[in-house]
Structure 1
Amino acid sequence: MDVKAFTDLPKVRTSRLYSRRWLPALLASVCMIVTLFALGKLMVANKVIRNERLMSLVDPLGIATTTPERFDAGTKVSSAENGKLHKMDKRQSQGPARYVSSGINWNGIRQRRNWNDFARDADLLNLFLCGLEAMQAKDQNNAESYFRIAGIHGAPYRSWNGQGGVNANTGYCPHASILFPTWHRPYLATIEQILGRTMRDLANRYPAGSVRTRYQQAANRFRLPYWDWASNAQLPALLGSQATVTVQKPQGFVTIPNPMVSYAFHPFSSSFFPFTPFNRWTRTLRQPDTNGNSRPAVVNQQLAANQVSLRNRVFNLLSYQRQFNIFSNKAWNGGNDGNQDSVESIHDLIHGLVGGEGHMAVVDTSAMDPIFWLHHCNV
């Protein structure tokens, strides 16, 4: 065959032949996928499929899955009572599975509020104090008790959720680690989850009518507030020195020890804290004297003396630091630069200024003080 004969051969339009051959198979595949997806949605919607992994396969976008109900006033708040457990709560109830930390997922997205704004919300503040008191009153062996939740962070060192701490002498909190800031996120979410559920249960116990409605609405607004020590480091009396508070409980108005100022162990054991003077103190203290008395005035003096430095350090850290491994923790990337600062270093200073020997000397007992939940929300 010469060149001319070769070039005169009719050209085969391969693209058209390819499309004619595969178009029916392609259309059939698309139809099958759409049919299976629609069938899966129908099965999920009618609760034919209950296994969460299968549900994620047939309904990956969660279109047919009911979203967590918003907690509205006038409705029962307890998911156990209304029979519509969120999937996290359902998994939680199927013991002996481990505790599922999901944070608050029953009232939509809520903005975290400054403590001063939070405290002006009278119903929310009242319910928060009642909820915190109830959490502190739980048996110290209860995994959801104030004692056990605070112990996740540091002393007294106890395993939680079936896992031992990072170190027998430090608890779970990863100090001097790049994980330091992010570790506190699920920790705070767990605190919010447990305290928020306690507040919801309390709201349902108020007398039916306008009072119950108010507190149900308040519970729906709850997120842990933050204490903005960078703008004003002085502790309000309710956080620092007010020994008692008057609150409205379901049974009426009562005066209780202020749960924001101190936590009393019940019972106390010297084994909780292996070093003196911690093994003698039966409650949490701030800047304690040698007799084990808190000194709130000293706390404010220390904070005032460091106010400008704290503000400047936060500004400089947020403005100029570009490396997260340095920004996040006090390991300082090998410690080569003495001028480097970190979120953890500033965080530690606040612990020391507020707690003094009562928080940061020898052992970390800081999470036993409720103000540091607010402090960690700010960090």
Structure 2
Amino acid sequence: MGLSHSSVYHTSHVRTVTTSGPVIVEPFSDVWPRLDICDFYNNETYRPQFDLLIQSYQAIYDRPYEDMRSYYQFAGIHGLPYTTYDGVTGGVHEYNNQTEWAEGRWGGYCHHGDILFPPWHRPYLLLLESLLVNEAKQIASQYPDNEKEKYTEAAKQLRHPYFDWGNEKAIEGLPEIFLTPEIEINTPKGKEKVKNPLKSFTLPVDVAYPPGKGESPTDKPNYNVPNLTYNPFTPAGYPTIRHPNANYEDQNNFIKSNMSVHVPTVFRPGLYQMFHISDYLRFSHHGVKPGGEQIGNIFSGHPPPSAVGIGHFASLEIVHDDFHLATGGLGGHMAYIDLASFDPLFFFHHVNVDRLFALWQEVFPDSWIPKLATLNGSYTDEINKIVDENTDLTPFRKTKTEFWKSSDVRDMKKLGYTYLEVEKFKGQDPKKLQAYLLELYKPDDHYGRRFFVKLTIEAGKLAGPYCVRVFIDLPDANAQTPTTSPHFAGFVSMWHSNSNSHVHDNTFVGGTVDITAAMIRLNLRTETFELIHDVNETTGMLNPSAIFDVEKDISIVPVTLDGKGVSPKEAGVKKIEIFTFEHDKVNPNFLDENSGQYYGSKKI
């Protein structure tokens, strides 16, 4: 993120191992589904599970923060405080806070920007799930006799819910369960109104580096929302926050507004694209180098001979990034990779990411993890270490001496959970599930030919999260142009970057924006080209005026989280391309087919 060493990893305390022994992540003996939080919360059938979930979250919040099974310690695995969890180090390559950050190595255990991004989160979520279920079983035993059997069974079936932010109903914003400060549940003592642990988590220790005057929550009501050059400071006793104001309060109206824009223009088109990608490499993460080592060739011209590489559509990770920015906002924990996991919303988001991963696996069961370098490193893995399905997913112990590997978690049912949609289509032709998912996440009613703007963006050019907005047929679009404008088509997010790291030189993110819906709103032409009128007889290439002049008709507007606009060059935008694919008329491998039309490119 372009942050100084001290401003990144500082925390007032370090982890200490408790006497309860090493934390071993064990699979469940029975398989039960993870459910949509909206069904989980509103359906009386699941009310006992919901009662237990709320109480179990609070129970792990209340554990001493030094306890490896406390929420603080568990959440800290992901990013800050960049210290050892449960004694798991990198051996001779152990992370050194004094030198590693300056060299660009990521200090959390999590894998970002590499092929282990989807599987690493499986044992992470399983650990949380097991902590919650263990608490739920103890709580269930305390209910009166006439309710004990019901709650004991509910504890057995409890699995962590997800929030499907790609569903159409997500346009309305976050479910109320993530917003309300108190909630009524049935406890062993009867109906009680309790503090809602899903709204926020209160930090037990100082996290991040104390900033200047006015830049700490202790300075409210004159709290100045932090800029993007450092992680927001959270002092002990203060909760996680989303889109904070000067009183260090959530601004839920901002979240609702963001969701109303992001769901139709970013989340749904992104997922629709993603479920066409049959290559694990392209599906799994957003890291890419110019030579195509990570994600295929960066397409450099007009076809023929082929369009290989033209379709780095929305990877799982890049769509995932967008949700972090939409819900966190400037100064909100979810928007900062180092701090995001302290907000409980993080885990409902990531269970959904795992669900999407599981559904993708069912659609493309033969595509799996290749052997590649991890570009960012982690607390236990050096930069450029070669990783594959047999790489240890640290710090998650399978036994006292073994760690979970991606090959161990490929089949989620062996871990003791599933998803209802997976079970519904089990044993059927994968194309049926794919058709269901394309219908579920279709961005609009316009089937067939879809239009895309592809952006190639060099990572590490700006400090902190930002996004690159795409406007159609609006040459004077700028950072103040509202995303509610009919000309707004969507954006590519850059959740994390590191401007002072040479490691990220020549590392690129490729993302696309589906501009079809915006074209329809603006009554722009979407039909196929006519050979006689639209193709240059001399060059054989499409005339730019046929539909788009990439120089004039596509406006690229990079915007930082604080709303400031920067130039495309400053934001690292290297290339803009426009192309089409006929989504529903080709087989699932269409990204490697020359089935579309190319409308030209512009280098920045």
Q: Is TM > 0.5 for Structure 1 vs Structure 2?
A: yes
Say yes or no: does 1:344 pair with 2:317.
Answer: yes
1:112 counterpart residue number: 34
SS class of match (2:76): helix
Shift of the alpha carbon at 1:226? 1.1
Q: CA separation in 1, counterparts of 2:184 and 2:154? A: 18
Runs of 4+ in 1 over 4 A off after TM superposition: 165-169, 360-363
One-letter amino acid of the counterpart of residue 313, structure 1: G
Shift of the alpha carbon at 1:333? 5.2
Task: Give the aligned CA root-mean-square deviation in angstroms.
Answer: 2.2
2:345 counterpart residue number: 371
Q: CA separation in 1, counterparts of 2:146 and 2:201? A: 32
Shift of the alpha carbon at 1:256? 1.8
CA-to-partner distance for each residue in 1:301-349, whole Å, 9 max, x for gaps?
Answer: 1011011121011011111x23212211110354635862311111111
1:260 counterpart residue number: 198
Counting only pairs closer than 5 Å after superposition, residues 4-19 of structure 1 correspond to structure 2 as none
Shift of the alpha carbon at 1:158? 3.2
Q: CA separation in 2, counterparts of 1:376 and 1:96? A: 28
1:213 to 146, 149, 156: 149
* Structure with more strand by fraction: 2
Shift of the alpha carbon at 1:360? 5.2
Change (3 A) 1:116 1:219: same
Counting only pairs closer than 5 Å after superposition, residues 106-185 of structure 1 correspond to structure 2 as 106=29, 108-119=30-41, 120=43, 121-164=46-89, 168=97, 170-185=107-122
Q: CA separation in 2, counterparts of 1:371 and 1:159? A: 24
Counting only pairs closer than 5 Å after superposition, residues 1-379 of structure 1 correspond to structure 2 as 98-103=22-27, 105-106=28-29, 108-119=30-41, 120=43, 121-164=46-89, 168=97, 170-207=107-144, 209-231=145-167, 232-233=169-170, 234-239=173-178, 241-266=179-204, 268-269=205-206, 272-274=207-209, 276=211, 277=226, 278-280=232-234, 282-309=238-265, 310-319=267-276, 321-332=277-288, 334=290, 336=298, 340=312, 341-357=314-330, 358-359=332-333, 363-379=337-353
Deviates more, 1:282-291 or 1:272-281: 272-281
Change (3 A) 1:257 1:96: closer
Q: CA separation in 2, counterparts of 1:348 and 1:285? A: 18
**Is the CA contact 1:170–1:363 (under 8 Å) kept in the aligned structure 2?**
no
Change (3 A) 1:226 1:362: closer
Q: CA separation in 2, counterparts of 1:339 and 1:293? A: 41
Q: CA separation in 2, counterparts of 1:187 and 1:284? A: 20
Q: CA separation in 1, counterparts of 2:118 and 2:210? A: 28
Shift of the alpha carbon at 1:280? 4.2
Change (3 A) 1:140 1:96: closer
**Is the CA contact 1:326–1:332 (under 8 Å) kept in the aligned structure 2?**
no
State the TM-score, normalized to the length of structure 1. Answer: 0.68
Q: CA separation in 2, counterparts of 1:375 and 1:190? A: 16
Higher gyration radius (CA): 1
Q: CA separation in 2, counterparts of 1:332 and 1:290? A: 39
Q: CA separation in 1, counterparts of 2:317 and 2:164? A: 16
Shift of the alpha carbon at 1:363? 4.6
CA-to-partner distance for each residue in 1:70-119, whole Å, 9 max, x for gaps?
Answer: xxxxxxxxxxxxxxxxxxxxxxxxx786321113x24x111221112211
**Is the CA contact 2:242–2:333 (under 8 Å) kept in the aligned structure 1?**
yes
* Structure with more helix by fraction: 1
Gaps of 5+ in 2: 1-18, 98-105, 212-225, 227-231, 293-297, 300-309, 354-604
**Is the CA contact 1:140–1:146 (under 8 Å) kept in the aligned structure 2?**
yes
Gaps of 5+ in 1: 1-94
SS class of match (2:72): helix
Question: Aligned pair count?
Answer: 277
One-letter amino acid of the counterpart of residue 346, structure 2: F
**Is the CA contact 1:136–1:145 (under 8 Å) kept in the aligned structure 2?**
yes
State the TM-score, normalized to the length of structure 2. Answer: 0.44
**Is the CA contact 2:328–2:335 (under 8 Å) kept in the aligned structure 1?**
no
